[in-house]
């Protein structure tokens, strides 16, 4: 961000290919952990996102590429709909940022077993944030209504190798496309209305899954920072002339099967938002940012096979707060304040080859009240998610 963005009225503060096309056509996601959702895959979302040691479908590579060794031959198509309620307060005036009432988020996964040890596949998933106000807040006379949209689509071709019974490693090449737009906020030259800008980039993911006993499975994953091309139209708004990378993340997980039909899974993950200057820089920095801090996320979930055809799920996740109190003046564009999520999910096996999965997520509202240079600017958000996925197995 550039200091010129602080010239507000509030002057004192201021198939694989088909799957990728499907996601690219969607509206930007509305994330709950920074620009990321609370979990990738409808089944994982139903367990609060817990997934590092518990692969359940062909979206597994988004969570841990080693998991693709255990999901078999399958095709997964899913769609979640997010109902967001972002809002902000400047002084004594409240603004609703829910101009986009419902946001679709598709997902796609494909996996093929090559032999008893090897499998290849692809997981396609997305990150993003969308906020649309119905008025101009920080712009001058004649400015457009304030809004921000970020969409990131990640296509992860994956190779997984079984090392032995219950043991596997995996690697993904993460290919990313992002599209960015800000309206109603002047950049460092006082200009606005740059429109949509896009860039591409790449990274990689590594993973391991190991069954250490009949009841216990462990997992670990590492996703490198995705180096994205610069968003040149926003070179006077974002740090380092338009830099906007996808942050590094890593985590460990456990899955425990205390008895037949019951699985309890838990993850601990770290996402290094603090390494991305456009997000992490303080409001008062030479190149101001959103003041985001790196985040630790804990997730726990349980599944119960109630009948041979019906599996029920529930979960909960908590993330540390990433929005800094001294930088809320800019976070009204992306009020990613939620920390806690409660989930319910289910899968119905229609026959040996087809299944339908459902999820509901309640994202509890959280407000961050500004202080210091952002005193009087408060940001908040809550959400609800509804999702469904269909799978074909062979």
Report the pLDDT value the prediction gives residue 383, as an integer from 0 to 100.
Answer: 93
Global confidence as pTM: 0.91
Report the pLDDT value the prediction gives residue 174, as an integer from 0 to 100.
Answer: 98
Report the pLDDT value the prediction gives residue 189, as an integer from 0 to 100.
Answer: 64
Angle, alpha carbons 286-194-4 (nearest 5°): 25
List Cα–Cα distances, 191 to 2, 57, 176, 188, in angstroms: 11, 46, 28, 7
- State how far the Cα of 388 lies from the Cα of 379, in Å rounded to an integer: 30
Q: What phi-psi label fits residue 154: left (phi over 0), alpha (psi between -120 and 50 degrees) or beta?
A: beta
CATH number at residue 289: 2.40.160.60
- DSSP state letter for 29: P
pLDDT along the chain (394 residues), means of 10: 40 39 44 88 97 98 98 97 91 87 91 98 94 83 85 97 96 97 78 88 98 97 98 91 96 97 98 95 87 96 98 98 91 92 98 98 95 93 96 97
- State how far the Cα of 150 lies from the Cα of 28, in Å rounded to an integer: 6
The encoded tokens of residue 83 equal 């109902």
Q: Do residues 355 and 386 make contact, with C-beta atoms less than 8 angstroms apart? A: no
Name the domain count of the chain.
1
Nearest Cα neighbor of 250 from 187, 282, 207, 210 is: 207
The encoded tokens of residue 182 equal 């800000």
Q: Which domain holds residue 225?
A: 3-393
- State how far the Cα of 6 lies from the Cα of 332, in Å rounded to an integer: 12
For strands 227-228 and 118-132, give the pairing.
unpaired
Nearest Cα neighbor of 272 from 252, 248, 304 is: 248
- State how far the Cα of 226 lies from the Cα of 248, in Å rounded to an integer: 7
Other CB atoms within 10 A of residue 196 CB: 11
List Cα–Cα distances, 142 to 46, 135, 228, in angstroms: 45, 11, 33
Report the pLDDT value the prediction gives residue 135, as an integer from 0 to 100.
Answer: 87
DSSP notation for 232-262: GGGTTTSHHHH--PBPPEEEEEEEEEEETTE
Main-chain dihedrals φ then ψ at residue 234, nearest 5 degrees: -115, 30
24: enclosing H helix or E strand:
helix 16-24
Report the pLDDT value the prediction gives residue 142, as an integer from 0 to 100.
Answer: 72
Other CB atoms within 10 A of residue 362 CB: 14
């Amino acid at each position: 961000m550039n200091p010129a963005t602080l010239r507000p009225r509030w002057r004192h503060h201021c198939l694989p290919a088909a799957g990728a096309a499907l996601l690219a056509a969607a509206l930007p996601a509305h994330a709950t952990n920074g620009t990321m959702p609370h979990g990738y895959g409808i089944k994982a979302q139903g367990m609060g996102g817990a997934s590092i040691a518990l692969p359940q479908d062909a979206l597994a590579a988004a969570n841990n590429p080693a998991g693709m060794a255990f999901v078999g031959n399958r095709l997964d198509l899913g769609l979640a709909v997010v109902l967001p309620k972002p809002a902000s307060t400047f002084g004594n005036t409240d603004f609703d940022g829910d101009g986009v009432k419902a946001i679709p988020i598709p997902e796609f996964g494909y996996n093929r077993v090559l032999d008893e040890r090897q499998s290849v596949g692809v997981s396609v998933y997305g990150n993003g944030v969308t906020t649309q106000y119905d008025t101009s807040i920080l712009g001058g006379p004649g400015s457009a209504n304030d809004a921000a949209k970020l969409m990131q689509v990640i296509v992860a071709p994956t190779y997984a190798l079984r090392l032995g019974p219950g043991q596997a490693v995996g690697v993904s090449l993460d290919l990313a496309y992002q599209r960015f737009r800000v309206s109603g906020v002047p950049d460092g030259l006082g200009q606005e209305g740059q429109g949509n800008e896009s860039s591409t980039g790449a990274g990689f993911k590594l993973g391991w899954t190991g069954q250490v006993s009949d009841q216990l499975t462990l997992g670990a994953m590492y996703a490198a920072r995705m180096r994205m091309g610069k968003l040149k139209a926003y070179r006077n708004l974002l740090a380092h002339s338009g830099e906007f990378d996808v942050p590094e993340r890593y985590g460990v997980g456990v899955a425990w099967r205390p008895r037949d039909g019951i699985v309890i899974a838990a993850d601990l993950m770290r996402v290094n938002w603090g390494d991305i200057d456009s997000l992490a820089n303080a409001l008062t920095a030479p190149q101001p940012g959103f003041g985001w801090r790196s985040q630790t996320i804990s997730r726990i979930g349980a599944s119960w096979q109630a009948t041979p055809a019906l599996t029920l799920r529930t979960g909960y996740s908590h993330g540390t707060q990433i929005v800094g109190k001294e930088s809320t003046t800019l976070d009204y564009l992306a009020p990613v304040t939620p920390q806690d999520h409660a989930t319910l999910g289910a899968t119905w096996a229609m026959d040996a080859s087809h299944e339908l999965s459902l999820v509901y997520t309640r994202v509890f509202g959280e407000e961050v009240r500004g202080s210091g240079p952002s005193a009087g600017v408060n940001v908040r958000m809550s959400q609800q998610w509804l999702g469904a996925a269909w799978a074909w197995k062979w």
